[in-house]
Chain A
Amino acid sequence: MPKKFLLDMYVNRCIRCEGCVAVCKTQNKTPEGVNRIRVITFDEGEPTETNMPMPCLHCNEPPCMYVCPTKAIYKRKEDGIVLVNKDTCIGCGYCLMACPFGAPQFEKGAFGNRGKMDKCTFCVEPYEQKDEQGRLIQLEPKPRCAMVCATGHLLAGDASEISAKLRERVGYRMSRGVEKTFLTF
């Protein structure tokens, strides 16, 4: 089952608390200048002001994977998570020019230019937890950004589950006659 991020586009819930950014930094210990998730703001200071967290959305057909010359970017078969192999990445920056969401980030490389690519991994490093018999359980990946999201704007998990959740929300609002408030342009 493909894992996905889903943003609640029906009603804008993001309040730009930047909790996702902070928890991603502490969880993944990314170097300076690398932000695996960012919050972007449209129309700042206007009535239509809109915030949106922007992680890698783990596309079904990732443009970054298609343009990568060394096959360093790959999509995992079992859960559809797009990952980068840093051993074969040469830091050419082609993925950056192809990604529609600005997801590829770059560490500092030699001579002060861009280094190797770093991107959201959907927090695949598993939690380690012991059960009663002392056996190690590896839980399925749960992105911390979605876990800390205070307003439930950013959803993460199995594509079918989270889209069902979102459909439920939208149905509830429509039944109450709530108009669409987000992204009417």
Chain B
Amino acid sequence: MEFPYYVMEFPGYQDWGWEIALYIFLGGVASGALITAAAALLLGREARVVRAGAYLAPVLLIIGSALLLLDLAGIKAMLRALLVPATFTNLTTSWMARGAWILLTTLLVALAFAYSLAKGRRYSGALALLALPLGTATALYTGLLLKGARFVPLWNSGELPLLFLTSALTTGIAATLLLASVREHAKIRGFLAALLVLLLIEAVEVPLYLLAVAGEGGVAAQSVAVILYGAYSTIFWVVLMVLGIIIPLLGLAYALATGRVAPLPALFALVLLGGLTLRFLLVEAATKAIVVPII
């Protein structure tokens, strides 16, 4: 059945803003960093990469959770969400309730992982095995959270969690390598190759996602039009596609081919900028569709 859609700004219409966008970005970077660190540990790669990722993840997760709490109704609601375990009970249908528990578990495992690395690597292998699925779950759930908002057509697509997972992995690897600042090319060659492949996937995935959503028509097509050639077009094409994806792609290919490490920190920063822009674009350009009830 097709609904006619009508877009309208209600007085007092307070949808999700920068807190949620920044949280989705930070949560993605944290889960990507956690996955990178765990994978590096399990594969026996450079110890500085392992430590950088493992220390970065809990810090970012704590900042992100604080942003989520800041978006709530007030001090009482914040304390309630933070301290009362019975708050997030609607596990059968709500991705926010499920996500709160996923986030808490991931944060605890990330803290334990960082602690075990600081204290002589006991149990860190087992914790790394736990961190891999949990990091993936955190990255996927942010997409499912937005997808659960059914009447925002820009988010209502099954590909959104996968897009967020790809972006979480690219930004996570970039942040970890930026923090680790390994100067020897041979030690991070595998990570650079992985980042290159993931950026290639993302370069295809972002336009494909927008085109797939635009195919739905109605408000979805309007939101995509605003991104592709409307108010956000400069940000989308220049900041996200060129600066955030294409220049890092070419730079990484150049660095891998020649073995130079000098431009790498700048490229990692650009990847992070691209991830942040993607989240802000998707949250800011999301127009809600008001459905007209027809009998």
Contacts and interface: CB of A to CB of B under 8 A. Distances in A.
Max count, chain B CB within 10 A of own CB: residue among A67, A69, A89, A114 = A69
A166 B97 CA distance: 40
A70 B12 contact: no
B234 interface: no
Contacts of A40: 6, 8, 290
A81 interface: no
Contact of A100 (B78, B87, B90, B151): B151
A94 B96 contact: yes
Contacts of B6: 40, 42
B268 interface: no
B271 interface: no
A70 B3 CA distance: 29
Max count, chain A CB within 10 A of own CB: residue among B14, B80, B152 = B14
A45 to B, nearest CB: 15
B8 A102 contact: yes
A123 B88 CA distance: 29
Nearest to B87: A70
Contact of A102 (B10, B75, B95, B148): B10
The interface residues of chain B, by DSSP majority, are classed as loop
Contacts of A93: 14-16, 71
Contacts of B71: 92-93, 113-114
A9 B291 contact: no
Interface string B1-18: 001101010111111110
A69 B94 CA distance: 5
Interface of A: 6-7, 9, 33-35, 38, 40, 42, 52, 54, 57, 63, 66-71, 88-94, 96-102, 105-106, 109-111, 113-116, 166, 183, 185
9 contacts: A6-B295, A40-B8, A54-B290, A91-B74, A109-B73, A110-B74, A114-B71, A115-B74, A183-B292
Given A54-B290, A100-B289, A102-B288, 4 more contacts: A9-B294, A38-B10, A100-B3, A109-B74
Q: Which 8 A-B pairs have the closest CB atoms?
A: A91-B73, A97-B149, A100-B291, A110-B74, A33-B12, A69-B97, A69-B96, A90-B77
